[in-house]
Amino acid sequence: MFDLDRWNEIISTLKKNKLRSLLTAFGVFWGIFMLIIMAGAGKGLEKGITDGVGQVATNSFFMWTESTSEPYKGFRRGRYWEYDNEDVIFIKSSIGEADVVAPRLFGWRGGNNTVRGDKTASFYIKGDYPEWTKIDPVDIIEGRWLNEVDILQKRKVCVVGENVQEEMFKPGEKIIGEYIRVNGVYYQIVGLIKPISTININGRTEESIFLPFTTMQVAYNYGNSVHMLGITAKKGYSATFVEDKVIASLKERHAIAPIDVQAVGHINLEKQFKMFSTLFIGIQVLTWIVGIGTLLAGVIGVSNIMLVIIKERTQEIGVMRAIGATPRKVISQIIMESTFLTTLAGYLGLVSGIFILEILNKILAMAPKDGDSQIFIKEPGVNLGIAVACLLILIISGAIAGYLPAKRAVEIKPIDALRAE
């Protein structure tokens, strides 16, 4: 294997036609290079989306109301309806498979709905219970999140996102304990937050002002209305099962036709995550199919070139056989030549692919992290298992590429080889 004369012979053979060897090696180089790039990009996309979701409860779903599309029990189609406080109490007491049940309200964002001194701006207004962050967690920069006392006493306090601070306060200015006016009502700021995930539920968190749910019901004259429900399933139950049960129960409570699919708007994060998981598997399979297909084309090219080389070296092989070279030695020589060529080209492709992914990684690390310019790819790269698999593919491919030419070479009779021109 490490016979110096044999290796010199291999290198000398490949040098006889440098352009041909270079073009042949490029096919293998490109196959491995594309395999690494595609595998790394797919991994980066998976990590980017997974990290973007953050710590959001993946066993959760969100529901809101729409106008009905079916007449039922004397009600005409097109009727608009709303959830109410009693629905929240009903779900908590009657749907045992539901874990967290968090109602939410929304305020009108139109116009400059927020004022502080001479500064005005427009932000999303949301009314929440403390439990909401069990579904969609936030990062508390300063102060606190809403608590039960705020709910019970209907306190005029609020928690604001990062963009509210940037637009309504000067850099370094105190924010906790200060007041802002939202739709004509003053609220004391008790917390400053930023989102953990990139999931936006009726407006970006950093552009939102959060009020206690009960306070908002009074301030906005919403009565018992609930605009949205966020619900998680208990351990051992699927979110889809709980969602179907909740929807059926609420339809019955509000005289909605069981077959009315329009009346309840909903999104199920469990289903979304399963869809993403299937997508990632599909991307990985496609990556390997395309990468190995490209590599196979390069290997076939190597095999064809080796056949040409064998034809050109017919007399040389005849001499080798005449002076006592065994078929096994001839086969091993040719297989080593093709393996050397494919392994060297593939290794360069592997290193080049990893190098490009590292550069891309550094570029993405320097990209802005604000919500308007988020890139759904993060830390693209390949793990050790993929790298080892690629190296094994290279060695096997090289052996396969040299086998057929080697087999043909030993079939040539020494006397015929010596007569060949």
Q: Render pLDDT for 301-341 as a digit per residue (tens, 0 to 9).
A: 777 777 777 766 666 666 766 777 677 777 777 777 778 87
Q: In the chain, pLDDT over 90 holds for what percent of residues?
A: 43
pTM of the predicted model as reported, rounded to 2 decimal places: 0.72
Measured between alpha carbons, how far is 330 from 411 in angstroms, rounded to an integer?
11
Measured between alpha carbons, how far is 301 from 297 in angstroms, rounded to an integer?
6
Give the pLDDT score at 231: 96
What value does the mean pLDDT take over residues 389-416?
72
What value does the mean pLDDT take over residues 275-280?
82
What value does the mean pLDDT take over residues 398-415?
71
**355-384 burial by CB neighbour count: b if 16+ within 10 A, else e?**
ebbeebbeeeeeeeeebeeeeebbebbbee
* 36 pLDDT more than 90: no
Exposed (0-12), middle (13-18) or buried (19+): which is 280, by Cβ within 10 Å? Answer: middle
Give the pLDDT score at 188: 97
* 372 pLDDT more than 60: no
Residue 372 DSSP label: G
Helices (H), 54-111: 85-94
Q: What is the pLDDT of residues 59-86, one digit of tens each?
A: 899 999 999 999 998 889 999 999 999 9
**Is residue 64 within a helix (H) or strand (E), and if so which, with residue range?**
strand 60-65
What value does the mean pLDDT take over residues 382-395?
74
What value does the mean pLDDT take over residues 366-385?
64
